[in-house]
Structure 1
Amino acid sequence: MAIANPGAGTTQALRRQVAHDLGLADLKSALAAGWQDYRAQPQFGLGFAAVYVLVGLALAWVMAGRGDLFSLIPAAAGFPLLAPFCAVGLYEVSRRRERGLPLRWPPVLGALKGHGDQQLLAVGVVLFVAFGFWLMIAHGIFAVALAESGAKSESLAFLLTPSGAIMLLVGGGVGSIIALAFYAATVISLPMLVDRDVDFLSAIITSFAVVRANRTVMLAWAVLIAAGLFVAMLPLFLGLLVVLPVLGHATWHLYRRAVQAAPA
């Protein structure tokens, strides 16, 4: 897979386009615009969210069938890491609505290929590798905690022991750091790769620049996304049929506010 090397000039130009004045009002505006996009074209949001829900249910069914409950916990916690890539099609829907372009499934699905240069695919691979990496770390934390406690069983009762509580605390802390790092890398880069013909490294650098320049607002957006996805996953993932599309469309509008239009 060919990966383009970002030029210093391109990266610096993108950094100069980053807004430094995002406020909580921008989050409210992005959510309102995201809701409007979802209501105007619900078939796309429902379609992409349904795929995400079915994958989540299949993953839960396989792990529960194997009796691997301690894999189910980190998998459920890390599953939202895959949500940004599933929202790529939603970014394209919002982009097309914004520009008055026709909305049909072929061009919307075509956005998943990016601009034909495999840059979006590269980010998708990174996200899936991150998900697998998180599962391996979670298994390691659990194995250490189980060995330290001397427990013979992998029942859920272990979670009520001091070792189980420490395991949840450490695992939650490590998972939060991983999730925050990948949020900072993808929250702006994925909609940018849909919108512009740039390499994925430049897009990720720009994403980190937006988060660094607007720490409070972007952290608030991360908390809102995490809380929204968590609550939506509780009723058999069905809440994601609404929450995921609205957050996906809203992220597009936040990107458009955070990164100024490229010079003509």
Structure 2
Amino acid sequence: MAKTIGNPFSWAAQHLGASGTHLAESSAVLGGTTHSQPQIRDLHLSDLRGALRAGIDDFMASRTDAMLAVVIYPLAGLLLIIVGFQLNAVHLLFPLLAGFALLGPVAAVGLYQISRQREAGQDANWADAFGVVKAPGFGAILVLGIGLGALFLIWIVTAHLIHMWTIGPDPAASFSQFLRDVFQTSAGWTMIVVGVGVGFVFALVALAVSVVSFPLLLDRQVGVPTAVVTSVRVMRRNPGVILCWGLIVATLLVLGAIPILAGLILIIPILGHATWHLYRRAVV
């Protein structure tokens, strides 16, 4: 008999109570139930190409479901832009959008589930993507996601302090005035140099912590500490390859953000699926 899932609203109503109960249960295993450390493989640039090809294949096989699973991500980005203008905080627009990429691994969790099921030879749809809340490791995934959210907020506060230290505490009268302050004054160029340098450090921390941790938590009951340590170990063993992966992710996110963030509806699913396959190549 064919499996039917109804529309997104009826599905959400049916699963809300069960998900809440499951979340309470999964919060008790944040430390994991497996005590063995995952083994790390050596990675090569060919692994990145293979992961991207596999990610594109997954996306082509489940385009509508994958896009539905991440549509909230670009919408949230647009909301951040609107809020920035409404609060006259145009100096935080770029930090908000750049730092928003830190939350990409959280937005892609449902995509990992789709790739995982396709890898096992099972059909997958949008309900399976959102059904990740019923996974044994969802409590740990939620905690790690909150950690990335905290890192994002720290970055925004840091970016604001850098602006105050260089250009000053007074907000620009308009967006055009802000651009002149940034690109036509020495204080503005100081802000750019310092901001990019500090932002790179934040991005490096986020990459090290999350490059394989979310897929690992979904795939095995290892707990948050083991997932984070494993992710850092992957980067330490393969620094060049992982930094190249970070550059690929950053470049694609920028390209996807150019048409009013609309391109992210395509880019995020491809990167999400590819991240799952990179995890499979990196961790035994």
TM-score relative to the length of structure 2: 0.84
Partner Cα separation in structure 2 for residue 117 and residue 25 of structure 1 = 31
Partner Cα separation in structure 2 for residue 19 and residue 223 of structure 1 = 21
Partner Cα separation in structure 2 for residue 235 and residue 121 of structure 1 = 30
Q: CA deviation at 1:6?
A: 6.3
Match of residue 121, structure 1, among 118, 124, 142 = 142
Give the letter for the 1:163 counterpart.
A
**C-alpha offsets along residues 131-183 of structure 1, whole Å, 9 cap, x if unaligned?**
11110000001011123xx9884631110210110111101111110111111
Partner Cα separation in structure 2 for residue 224 and residue 249 of structure 1 = 14
User: Closer, same or farther in 2 for the Cα pair 1:71/1:194, shift >3 Å?
Assistant: same
Kept after mapping to 1: 8 A contact 2:47/2:278: yes
Kept after mapping to 2: 8 A contact 1:44/1:90: no
**C-alpha offsets along residues 97-133 of structure 1, whole Å, 9 cap, x if unaligned?**
0002232333321214541561011011001111111
Question: Which deviates further from its counterpart, 94-103 or 83-92?
Answer: 94-103
Give the letter for the 2:264 counterpart.
L
* 2:115 aligned residue: 94
* 1:158 aligned residue: 181
Q: CA deviation at 1:39?
A: 0.3
Q: How does 1:74-223 map to 2 (within 5 A)?
A: 74-112=95-133, 114-115=135-136, 118-147=139-168, 153=172, 155-156=177-178, 157-160=180-183, 161-223=185-247
1:254 aligns with 2:278: yes
Secondary structure at 1:10's aligned position in 2?
Answer: coil
Q: Where in structure 2 are there 5+ consecutive unaligned residues?
A: 1-26
Q: Where in structure 1 are there 5+ consecutive unaligned residues?
A: none
* 1:229 aligned residue: 253
* 2:9 aligned residue: none
Give the letter for the 1:28 counterpart.
R
* 1:46 aligned residue: 67
Match of residue 41, structure 2, among 14, 19, 28 = 19
Give the letter for the 1:18 counterpart.
I
Q: CA deviation at 1:30?
A: 0.6
User: Closer, same or farther in 2 for the Cα pair 1:232/1:104, shift >3 Å?
Assistant: closer
Match of residue 35, structure 2, among 10, 16, 28 = 10
Partner Cα separation in structure 2 for residue 26 and residue 107 of structure 1 = 27
Kept after mapping to 1: 8 A contact 2:137/2:223: no
Secondary structure at 1:237's aligned position in 2?
Answer: coil
Give the letter for the 2:268 counterpart.
L
Kept after mapping to 1: 8 A contact 2:181/2:188: yes
Kept after mapping to 2: 8 A contact 1:191/1:255: yes
RMSD of Structure 2 on Structure 1 (CA): 2.0
Between the aligned residues of both structures, percent identity stands at: 37
Give the letter for the 2:118 counterpart.
R
* 2:94 aligned residue: 73
Kept after mapping to 2: 8 A contact 1:114/1:120: no
Partner Cα separation in structure 1 for residue 79 and residue 106 of structure 2 = 18
1:36 aligns with 2:57: yes
